[in-house]
């Protein structure tokens, strides 16, 4: 499941970034698959202040990119924030790098140099990053909404199926109990009881058929919803390619 999601995300980014492999690879690790859970709910100003205390600006950066992608009318404002956060990250990382060099931590130095390089890329390509993020997150939010609604429908189906199984078990138990009682009877009383048993079994059969018809109807509706969602994805894909 996760592999398929990752492949889907890679395909979307490849489409949005065109032949820009460096941008695609960068955004592959800097955009969130689920921004609703991964991007902090804390406001951006607070996240920036927290970053200034801890030296970790990643939460603020994630927030800035996401908010910038959702508020294209304030695009310049968020690009400035992203570049400022990248600069602050570089400064904090350079301090760590100096300390690591003094301690002879070669591996750590190499890691920090890569972080600095990534933040320079972030600053240089901030406009492109916000542009791609706006399209990427637009698609992700649609998909997340579809997933949430799909889960609600699946949960409703499970409840219905459980209720139907319980009903059938109860009806089966009632029939067995009635048959047991009927066998104890004799003469006209037994014949009347058997006649009533047949009526009850017929009614139970009709109810079962009705439940099966409802199940098939629900399956057809689910297929219709999925077909509509698929058509929507294809339309959005054509729009992205045409933009």
Mean pLDDT score across all residues of the chain? 91
pLDDT category at 220 given cuts 50, 70, 90 is: very high
Phi/psi class of residue 109: alpha, beta or left (left: φ > 0; alpha: ψ in -120 to 50)?
A: alpha
Question: Would you state the pLDDT for residue 3?
Answer: 46
* Confidence band, pLDDT 50/70/90 cuts, at residue 243: low
Name the residue ranges covered by the structural domains of the chain: 2-137, 143-242
- Most confident range (mean pLDDT) of 81-90, 152-161, 201-210 is 81-90
Backbone angle region of 18, left / alpha / beta, with phi > 0 → left and psi within -120 to 50 → alpha = left
DSSP 75: H
Q: What's the rounded mean pLDDT across residues 194-202?
A: 86
Residues near 121 by Cβ (< 8 Å), separated by ≥ 6? 22, 26
Residue with tokens 């996401």: 66
pLDDT over threshold 50, residue 16 = yes
Q: Which residues, 6 or more positions from 62, have their beta carbon under 8 angstroms from its beta carbon?
A: 32, 38, 39, 40
Give the confidence band of 1 by pLDDT, cuts at 50, 70, 90. Answer: very low
pLDDT band at 240 (very low <50, low <70, confident <90, very high): confident
- pLDDT band, very low/low/confident/very high, at 175 (cuts 50, 70, 90): confident
pLDDT in tens, 79-138: 999 999 999 999 999 999 999 999 999 999 999 999 999 999 999 999 999 999 999 999
Q: Are 90 and 98 in contact (CB under 8 A)?
A: no
Percent share of the chain, pLDDT over 70: 96
Greater pLDDT, 236 or 123: 123
pLDDT tier at 8, thresholds 50, 70, 90:
low
Q: Could you tell me which of 123, 137, 115 has the C-alpha nearest to residue 35?
A: 137
For residue 2, the model assigns a pLDDT of 39
Which residues 6+ apart lie within 8 Å of 223 measured at CB?
none
Could you tell me the two tokens for 160? 């219905």
Instruction: Answer for the pair 109, 117: CB distance below 8 angstroms, yes or no.
Output: no
C-alpha 102/C-alpha 93 separation (Å) is 14
């Amino acid at each position: 499941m996760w592999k398929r999601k990752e492949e889907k995300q890679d395909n979307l980014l490849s489409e949005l970034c065109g032949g820009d492999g460096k941008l695609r690879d960068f955004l592959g690790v800097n955009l969130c698959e689920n921004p609703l859970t991964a991007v902090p709910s804390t406001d951006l100003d607070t996240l920036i202040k927290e970053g200034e205390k801890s030296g970790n600006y990643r939460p603020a950066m994630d927030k800035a990119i996401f908010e910038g992608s959702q508020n294209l009318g304030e695009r310049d404002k968020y690009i400035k924030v992203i570049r400022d956060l990248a600069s602050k990250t570089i400064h904090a990382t350079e301090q760590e790098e100096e300390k690591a060099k003094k301690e002879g931590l070669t591996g750590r130095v190499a890691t920090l140099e890569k972080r600095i390089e990534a933040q320079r890329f972030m600053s240089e390509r901030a406009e492109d990053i916000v542009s791609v993020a706006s399209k990427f997150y637009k698609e992700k939010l649609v998909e997340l909404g579809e997933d949430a609604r799909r889960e609600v429908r699946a949960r409703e189906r499970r409840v219905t199926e459980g209720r139907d199984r319980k009903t059938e078990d109860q009806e089966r138990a009632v029939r067995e109990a009635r048959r047991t009682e009927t066998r104890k009877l004799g003469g006209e009383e037994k014949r009347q009881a058997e006649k009533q048993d047949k009526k009850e079994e017929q009614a139970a059969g009709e109810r079962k058929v009705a439940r099966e018809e409802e199940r098939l109807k629900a399956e057809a509706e689910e297929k219709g919803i999925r077909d509509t969602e698929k058509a929507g994805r294809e339309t959005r894909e054509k729009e992205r390619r045409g933009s």
